[in-house]
């Protein structure tokens, strides 16, 4: 993720929302007692991009936003709330990207939220696998299409994947 990855939709933030985001990001760094470079590392961006982010001259694209909301929420919920407000969204728009309590029933989400959740999950998984999201996207799309065609739910697929992983570890 670089400073050049920004979308035109980032222009939706008002001056007041950008100032609120600036203050929230600075307060986050102060509370955590970290440098811009350390917070940039935690968010998975360069220090240069973080400087632009903190000064609100760059905002994450819609595809990257779920990742940023999740990471910021884990560090400082107020900073995450300021980010989503600056782009005309709410934390509820990102409900699936935020950590949830075990056993929580997840409510159905609309198409906009589904897209945000999908992209956040894709970026997070690509990062865990040390793959480029563009390389993982066709794999994920193919797998999900085949599962949907066979009638397997995502919950069933997750259970099967976990049990397959456990079986391999025992071998």
- The token duo for 86 is 């600056």
Domain boundaries, the chain: 3-100
Q: Quick one: pLDDT at residue 35?
A: 93
How far is C-alpha 38 from the geometric centre of its chain's CA atoms? Answer: 18
**CATH, range 3-100:** 1.10.260
Give the C-alpha separation, 150 to 116, whole Å: 25
Task: Provide the pLDDT for residue 51.
Answer: 94
Please tell me the predicted confidence (pLDDT) of residue 113.
66
Confidence at residue 117, expressed as pLDDT on a 0 to 100 scale: 72
Residue 109: predicted pLDDT? 60
3-state SS class at 132: coil
Mean pLDDT by groups of 10 residues along the chain of 171 residues = 42 74 90 91 91 88 81 86 84 59 53 72 84 87 82 79 65 53
């Amino acid at each position: 993720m670089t400073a050049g990855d920004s979308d035109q939709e980032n222009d939706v933030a008002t001056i007041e929302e950008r100032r609120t985001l600036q203050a929230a990001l600075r307060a986050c760094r102060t509370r955590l007692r970290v440098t811009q470079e350390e917070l940039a590392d935690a968010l998975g961006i360069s220090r240069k991009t973080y400087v632009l982010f903190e000064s609100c001259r760059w905002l994450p694209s819609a595809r990257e936003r779920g990742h940023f909301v999740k990471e910021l929420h884990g560090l400082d919920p107020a900073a995450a709330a300021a980010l989503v407000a600056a782009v005309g969204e709410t934390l509820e728009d990102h409900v699936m990207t935020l950590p949830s309590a075990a056993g929580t029933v997840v409510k159905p989400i609309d198409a906009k939220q589904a897209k945000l959740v999908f992209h956040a999950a894709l970026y997070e998984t690509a990062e865990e696998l040390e793959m480029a999201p563009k390389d993982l996207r066709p794999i994920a799309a193919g797998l999900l299409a085949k599962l949907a065609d066979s009638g397997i739910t995502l919950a069933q697929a997750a259970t099967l994947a976990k049990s397959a992983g456990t079986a391999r570890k025992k071998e």
